[in-house]
Amino acid sequence: MPSREFLSLLQDIVGGEDVISHPEDLLVYEYDGSIDTAIPRAVVFPTSAEEVSRVLALAYKEGVPVVGRGSGTGLSGGAIAPEGGIQIAFTRMNHILDVDVANRTATVEPGVINLDLDTHARKFGLRYAPDPSSQRACSLGGNIAENAGGPHCLAYGTTTNHVMALETVLEDGTIVNLGGAARETPGYDLRGVFVGSEGTFGIATKILVRLLPVPETVKTFLGIFPDIDSACTAVSAVIGHGIVPAALEMIDALSIRAVQSVTDAGYPDDAGAVLLVELEGLTEEVEDVTHEVESALWDTGATDVRTAQDPQDRERLWVGRKTAFGAFGAIAPNYYLVDGVVPRTRLAQVLRQVDHISEKYRITIANVFHAGDGNLHPCMLFDAREPGVVERSAQAAQELMEYCVAEGGTLSGEHGIGLEKKEFMPLVFTDGDMERMKAVRDAFAPGNRLNPGKIFPDGVPMPAAPHHAGPGMYI
């Protein structure tokens, strides 16, 4: 079918103003938060599951690949359109449909912003626990696609632990429901299979999530350390006491300086590293373990241990952590972020290797990461105008991934595989493993029309256009 006729049929479904196809308008949609780029054929803005179904049915009939797009904050190229493909953007499907206080659930559309749901739920004494660092911007549909985590996933788990049911549209336009409102449902856990499938199984149009009570007491500590090694030792010491904090985050010296250059988060400029440790629960429980946490920090070489004195003080500490990647714009205009996971006990050794790789490839690397579960976020900072620097960054990323796997880790803790890490999959999985994964995908999308070219190696290198860092980017 000619492109003009195809676009006209899309407009018939969602309305003329809800399809964009002019090249200048599409430039906004060639990026997500990764270094990958590709301009879609068109972007469609549906307002209902029925419209999504009709768009997918039309695309399926015409052999046009489709990718769902939330807020475009993903970090593995998951929202990048395949060649000749269209994006379905959920900007207009952004409603919180219901909060069931008695059953502690919320029903939302996929375009709802993560923090907006949490803020709304708190009016009822509840909260939505998964909190990616991009929570001010990221949407629930994208969180489901990537099984997003966040600082508090150490205690509460990632997105999959909080999604109860999904209304989804398959590649041919069929609408199906996965999971249910009951805590446990019979049959295969197709809801669990769907979460983290990176948009290759279907597109969620309605989501039922579990909410938790707002904790009675929250206590946030800032442990200040002379170097990364002592901070890493403190991580193991805290967990070794049998304590599972709500969050346990590390920020290195370079990241501290970047943050403090754009906002006063209360981090000392001369620290080698800081740890953010947060406890939540009943007042008595939190007080019982406060001394143990403080002792673990002091005993492992902390030069100071501070406690947030009020909610504003706590918020200031967390703003520093959650805006760190935007603050890197004060160091360099471009960045490339990877997402490896290693055992906690190997953190210090792996971070020393990060330093070695930084020197080897002449790339500045900053580290801000989820120390409690060993989820590293080495961020390579550079100026793309320098010849060869993008290629060196990609080589450094590959060596980092190889080293993480060699140390007993894996390729991603929360960002997904997407385009960025698909060629690294054989480091972790055999050909047989990946064939079984494809068989599961084919049960949902046998035509492979949804987000094709992602997750599995195909020898096609990812596009190489650097992402721009700067104040206001929340990754």
Residue range 220-227: mean pLDDT, rounded: 98
pLDDT of residue 336: 92
Q: CA-to-CA distance for 79 and 451, rounded, in angstroms? A: 8
Say what percent of the chain tops pLDDT 90.
91
Residue range 107-125: mean pLDDT, rounded: 98
Output 405 or 467, whichever has higher pLDDT: 405
Q: Are residues 118 and 132 in the same domain?
A: yes
pLDDT of residue 252: 97
- Per the listing, tokens 């714009």 go with 329
Q: Are residues 201 and 243 in the same domain?
A: no
Q: How confident is the model at residue 465 (pLDDT cuts 50, 70, 90)?
A: very low
Instruction: Determine the 3-state secondary structure of 465 from DSSP.
Output: coil
Q: Are residues 198 and 224 in the same domain?
A: no
Q: Is residue 65 part of a domain?
A: no
pLDDT of residue 184: 82
Residue range 97-112: mean pLDDT, rounded: 98
Q: Alpha carbon of 220 to those of 85, 283, 369, 438: distances in Å? A: 46, 13, 17, 43
Q: Is residue 298 part of a domain?
A: yes
Q: Interior CA angle at 219 toward 214 and 222, to 5°?
A: 135
Q: Which residues sit opposite 380 in a β-bridge?
A: 336, 365
Residue range 377-386: mean pLDDT, rounded: 95
Q: Are residues 202 and 223 in the same domain?
A: no
Q: Are residues 267 and 301 in the same domain?
A: yes
Q: What is the mean pLDDT of the chain?
A: 94
Residue range 101-108: mean pLDDT, rounded: 98
Q: Are residues 209 and 258 in the same domain?
A: no
Q: Is residue 307 part of a domain?
A: yes
Q: Are residues 100 and 208 in the same domain?
A: yes
Q: Is residue 19 part of a domain?
A: no
Q: Are residues 183 and 284 in the same domain?
A: no
Q: Is residue 276 part of a domain?
A: yes
Domain that holds residue 142: 96-213
Q: CA-to-CA distance for 51 and 43, rounded, in angstroms? A: 14
Q: Are residues 198 and 169 in the same domain?
A: yes
Residue that terminates a domain, selected from 267, 289, 322 = 322
The separation between CA 164 and the C-alpha centre of its own chain, rounded to angstroms, equals 19
For 285-333, write each residue's pLDDT tens digit: 999 999 999 999 999 999 999 999 999 999 999 999 988 988 999 999 9
Q: 178 is written with which tokens?
A: 């996965």
For 23-48, write each residue's pLDDT tens digit: 999 999 998 988 889 999 999 999 99
Q: Are residues 167 and 272 in the same domain?
A: no
pLDDT of residue 35: 83
**Which strands sit side by side in the sheet containing 247-252, from one edge to the other?**
304-307, 217-225, 273-281, 247-252, 364-369, 378-382, 334-337, 467-468
Which DSSP letter does residue 214 get?
P
Q: Which amino acid is residue 176, in one-letter code?
A: V
Q: CA-to-CA distance for 44 and 81, rounded, in angstroms? A: 12
pLDDT of residue 416: 95
Output 304 or 466, whichever has higher pLDDT: 304
Residue range 231-243: mean pLDDT, rounded: 94
- Per the listing, tokens 């250059």 go with 261
Q: CA-to-CA distance for 209 and 166, rounded, in angstroms? A: 9
* Total domain count, the chain: 2
In this predicted structure, the answer to whether residue 472 has a pLDDT above a threshold of 90 is no
Residue range 121-150: mean pLDDT, rounded: 96
Q: Is residue 287 part of a domain?
A: yes
Q: CB-based contacts of 2: which residues, under 8 Å, 6+ apart?
A: none
In this predicted structure, the answer to whether residue 352 has a pLDDT above a threshold of 90 is yes
DSSP labels for 32-52?
Answer: -SSS-B---SEEE--SSHHHH
For 255-363, strand residue ranges (E) read 273-281, 304-307, 334-337
Q: How confident is the model at residue 474 (pLDDT cuts 50, 70, 90)?
A: very low
Q: Is residue 191 part of a domain?
A: yes
Q: Are residues 178 and 255 in the same domain?
A: no
Q: What is the CATH number of the domain that holds 112?
A: 3.30.465.10
Residue that terminates a domain, selected from 288, 322, 356 = 322
Q: CA-to-CA distance for 376 and 215, rounded, in angstroms? A: 27
pLDDT of residue 462: 53
Q: How confident is the model at residue 185 (pLDDT cuts 50, 70, 90)?
A: confident
Residue range 128-135: mean pLDDT, rounded: 94
Nearest to 35 by CA among 474, 422, 468, 467: 467
Q: Are residues 198 and 229 in the same domain?
A: no
Nearest to 446 by CA among 202, 203, 166: 202
Residue range 397-408: mean pLDDT, rounded: 96
pLDDT of residue 296: 96
Instruction: Determine the 3-state secondary structure of 318 from DSSP.
Output: helix
Q: CA-to-CA distance for 82 and 41, rounded, in angstroms? A: 9
Q: Is residue 33 part of a domain?
A: no
Q: How confident is the model at residue 3 (pLDDT cuts 50, 70, 90)?
A: confident
In this predicted structure, the answer to whether residue 53 has a pLDDT above a threshold of 80 is yes
CB burial of residue 391 (10 Å; 0-12, 13-18, 19+): exposed
Helices and strands, counts by H and E, the chain: 15, 19
Q: Alpha carbon of 330 to those of 72, 263, 320, 381: distances in Å? A: 23, 11, 14, 10
Q: Interior CA angle at 393 toward 388 and 396, to 5°?
A: 125
Residue that terminates a domain, selected from 182, 213, 244 = 213
Residue range 381-398: mean pLDDT, rounded: 94
Phi, psi of 173 (to 5 degrees): 95, -5
Say what percent of the chain tops pLDDT 70.
96
